[in-house]
Amino acid sequence: MKASIGLRFLAATCCEGDLENYLAAGKTEHLFNAGEMQAFEYIASHVIKYGALPKLETVGLHSDADLEKPPEPALYYLEHLKQRYMDLGLRNSVVDATKLLKGDDKDPRAAVLLMFDACVDMLRTEKSAHLFDFRDALTPVMAEHNAKLMGLNVGIDLGWEYLDRMIGGIRKGDLVSYVGRPQKGKTWFMLYSALHAWEKQSKTVMFCTFEMEGRLIRERLAAMYGHVPAMNLKLGELTTLDRKKMISKLTTAKQANNPLWILDAGMATTIPELLAISRSLKPDVIYLDGAYLIQHENTRLDRFRKIDAIADQIKTILCPLAPTLASWQYNKAAAKKKKDDPVTADDVYGSDVIFMVSSILLGIFQADTPETIHRKLIQIQKGRGGEKGEFETCWDFRHMDFSQYVEKDEDKELDHTG
């Protein structure tokens, strides 16, 4: 017998194993019928207790549901589940409203109010991911807590422990802005985060560059993935050992679970074009290198209003689809500031909107000194909860290492002895 739409949604959810998407759906209990409720309740209790979605076999052991892997993603079945609920709810409301319009004691006003309440309920169902009743906090709060307790990823990490612990991973709706003057490392840091999401977390990544050709991004990523000097790869001067490493690593890339897509301006130049591509590629996370160069459909906007409009479009159009990271520039005045006059978010080139719409804003602005040859300072100028801070990263082009810098014992001894 064909499984109901509710059971197919639950089966697809368990097969995908994506806790974030499960929680992002919001309150869904009212969408299920009596024959689906046992499986729903078991999955909810499993999530609360273990911070992870159960396997299909586990659900079968603890309920009467016979779940099989369905052909479509969970989101497909969720949309149809909501349609089923709304269709039935509206039909019942029409029947009840019709009764109120019959007989000598008919009450048109009550019929209107009844239909109004039904429509509000339908809207609440459609937007359930954005409306929360605190009485239902048990499942999402404890599920996330237990997932973190067990070392499971909730959200997407950027690859620097200091920052990842502070923000707790990025999620749909988040915009992370990297800001710096030209040639200060924005693209390298974005590539590092993209590679971390793809390699370490098995996420589908879409990396879009508006500053350079896609082949150059591919070359940089290859050097980082193979831990061989990017310049040597670019000039065709890899050593025999590095060449073997490169071939070995790129061969293993074919076995990756998810794709890492690279797009340049030849593929898309506007947010609507990026949206269409994103819907097709279904990325877990989006990177926009040189976001200030994205074009706007309204060609009459001056460059400053255009950047404002682009930042707003990224936040309202792309971020709900997948967490998005974008790079911007500081203005020229920032480069002239003295040491006692720090660079801040007010120095972002062309827009005040970028700071306002960014969930997290990372400042990359540091003078080139002997101390920064192998290290870079990243300033957290805005955290999701208002946090601020800073951390150092490695800046090692021999081994292509841009991870968080950890002070070694010999460094401490050097500092102590002067």
Q: What confidence score (pLDDT) does residue 78 get?
A: 93
For every one of its 418 residues, what pLDDT tens digit does the chain have, with 9 covering 90 and above? 578 999 999 999 999 988 888 888 888 889 999 999 999 999 999 988 888 899 999 999 999 888 899 999 998 999 999 999 999 999 999 999 999 999 888 999 999 999 999 888 888 887 777 677 788 888 788 877 777 676 666 689 999 999 998 988 899 999 999 998 888 889 999 999 999 999 999 999 999 999 899 999 999 999 999 999 999 999 999 999 999 999 999 999 988 989 999 999 888 889 999 999 999 999 999 999 999 999 998 989 888 889 999 999 999 999 999 999 999 998 877 666 766 677 777 788 877 889 999 999 999 866 566 666 788 999 999 998 888 999 999 999 999 999 999 876 555 444 433 3
Q: Locate tokens 């499960």: which residue?
A: 22
Helical packing angle, 240-253 and 214-226, nearest 10° = 110
Which residues pair with residue 208 across a beta bridge? 263, 288
Q: What is the DSSP annotation of 46-99?
A: HHHHHSSPPPHHHHHHHSS------SS-HHHHHHHHHHHHHHHHHHHHHHHHHH
**pLDDT at residue 1 in the model:** 57
25, two tokens: 């759906």
Compute the distance between CA of residue 345 and CA of residue 348 in angstroms, rounded to an integer: 6
Longest dimension (CA), the chain: 99
Main-chain dihedrals φ then ψ at residue 394, nearest 5 degrees: -70, 150
84-98 burial, b if ≥16 CB within 10 A, otherwise e? bbbeebeeebeeebe
